Structure 1
């Protein structure tokens, strides 16, 4: 692997990220962080003091429903006995929008083992080299996994091509999917009164003039979203960014569970609306009320962040990530019932949220 090649790739990546995230003339692009089932279901279930049916009805009225899963990637069942697998995708654009630059830089597979008391948030590396099947005008071929959403046209069709790509890679079929609109995410965090984030290494934002100093601190929506999108100058690069994204999910759920918030029906109503407006969901035919009831036992104590075992590789001066044998074993565990055992024997790739 050439050092010069890595430097060229890094410079190009920095320029591209600045251009597509507000550093140039384009529209601001919010951080690649997914709340997904954690926010859409666990957060709402945590706030269920107002009543499950009322909460579900409110959420149904604000949420957008789309067929986000390709038929080849959809589980052929609608029961919630578990284990369950959900695909969570982040985008700055809602389904129906069109245009370029619709890649998603964070993709999560959420695995909930039977019993529905714990969950594993598997972060798929954005640069993972995969085979993308043909779709529409795209002939198919090898590329980074985060380009599948773009090649599919973004929105609903982009999510479908991404889901088909992941099923082809992992063999996993999904019980549902969620597409997060980051433009609405900042208001959700602010309605929570900010979140507590612990910074391990000093981070200088490439998008703003912020410097995040080590230590635990309260961040508002703009600060938290800026922090979790950073990857340059971090010891683990994009792997550290994945961990920070998972940390934000846990911080949001922790804030949502506080008694002060649960006892405020007005604040709950505002949060439900904000969550619903920032999410598009494919529940695979399952009613939201049933999802809330089934997953209400999940909490931050039962959530683990998982990184896909992989390694970097430069091909023609372009940086990619390749899956290794442990990664194959991880996907086999997610397909079946062995995820807790896999996590126990591979602590290097697992973090407590």
Structure 2
């Protein structure tokens, strides 16, 4: 079917132009996005790696022409008032665009023809402001209220209703996901970033893998992960399995969120290493792998993405806060299956601190 991923990873993006030479503009053809069912992973970390490489290589003209600005937040209704500081919604989608049939099988991602919808299950809110940066993970199974919306495919109006957070994207795309996060947190989302399976796998392979240590033998048939106890240099396929698996975690989706943050720190450190940044071949291949599946909102350009990465790099180096929204109940029985309930008092305090750009006082 589609062999775009192989060609992207094996070809090198153009080098920066010399002084006086007009930059070469690459025009992207409109993409056809294959829709699929609930197979998840943290691809959002690829955005962070990508930004490090862009800043180091100075390829703004080349990279800017490749940004896919699909989401439009300007026309959203009933939004919270702008608070202090800036909030970024960073998500990973289960889009198979760029993957061949063989790759979807090898990566245990399921068929790209499984469903007409796709989901975003790796969701983080990055807040930057006067007191530094705070990264808050929102578990995919969070039991939230989805605002009233109009189905973009059928035009049918739907009333506000309770559902899992990961359903918002498949029901109404990035715009409904942003509205859902805003209405349940009270935070005004300023910028949106999303990346799919192909970008995640391509970036991990381009940087030469990421070292991770596990304290037990992990075998997960659904994600295809089989890791013995100890330390491993995970390639793209193994990394995808590591950030997706949750059935071997005692805390389920919460355990997966912590694994994703752990992997984020390791991947960001590897991408910022001299072996990557000072190697033109590695740097350009990595940046190209991420850009080809990166989606942003119309107000997000390279300057905003660069500021996002700068904040993320500080967080992963210990100069910021990483946490998961406080939870009161796991295994909550709902009409949509087992879900996670936020701790109302603590989560309200957390989002209030972020909205007012105060020092975060809440701990998990």
| TM-score of Structure 1 vs Structure 2, range by shorter chain | 0.7 to 0.9
Q: Deviations over 1:108-127 (max 9, x none)?
A: 11122337xx5332111212
Select which of 108, 116, 125 maps to 2:139.
125
Mapped to 2, the partners of 1:229 and 1:204 lie a distance apart of 12
Select which of 285, 288, 296 maps to 1:281.
296
1:296 equivalent in alignment to 2:315: no
1:335 equivalent in alignment to 2:355: yes
Distance 1:209 1:245, change over 3 A: closer
Mapped to 2, the partners of 1:244 and 1:42 lie a distance apart of 17
Aligned pairs (5 A) from 1:1-353: 31-35=40-44, 39-41=46-48, 43-45=50-52, 48-51=55-58, 55-69=59-73, 71-72=76-77, 83-93=85-95, 99-114=115-130, 118-136=132-150, 137-140=156-159, 141-152=161-172, 158-207=173-222, 210-282=225-297, 284=299, 287-289=301-303, 291-292=305-306, 296=310, 298-299=313-314, 300-301=316-317, 302-310=319-327, 311-312=329-330, 313-315=332-334, 318-324=337-343, 325-338=345-358, 340-342=359-361, 345-346=362-363, 349=364
Q: Deviations over 1:185-216 (max 9, x none)?
A: 10110001000112134321122654223323
Unaligned segments of structure 1, at least 5 residues: 1-25, 153-157
Q: Deviations over 1:20-75 (max 9, x none)?
A: xxxxxx97976420425xx4356423553333xxx222221222112343624878
Is the Cα–Cα contact under 8 Å of residues 40 and 93 in structure 2 kept in the other structure?
A: no
Partner of 2:109: none
Aligned-partner SS, 2:178: helix
Partner of 2:25: none
Distance 1:277 1:168, change over 3 A: same
Greater CA drift, 303-312 or 207-216? 207-216
Partner of 1:5: none
Mapped to 2, the partners of 1:73 and 1:191 lie a distance apart of 42
Is the Cα–Cα contact under 8 Å of residues 333 and 339 in structure 2 kept in the other structure?
A: yes
| CA apart distance, 1:131 | 1.5
Mapped to 2, the partners of 1:59 and 1:216 lie a distance apart of 34
Tell me how large the CA RMSD over aligned residues is: 3.1
Distance 1:276 1:316, change over 3 A: closer
Mapped to 2, the partners of 1:49 and 1:316 lie a distance apart of 49
Greater CA drift, 273-282 or 290-299? 290-299
Partner of 1:19: none
Mapped to 1, the partners of 2:185 and 2:129 lie a distance apart of 17
Distance 1:206 1:303, change over 3 A: farther
Unaligned segments of structure 2, at least 5 residues: 1-34, 98-111, 151-155
Distance 1:305 1:213, change over 3 A: farther
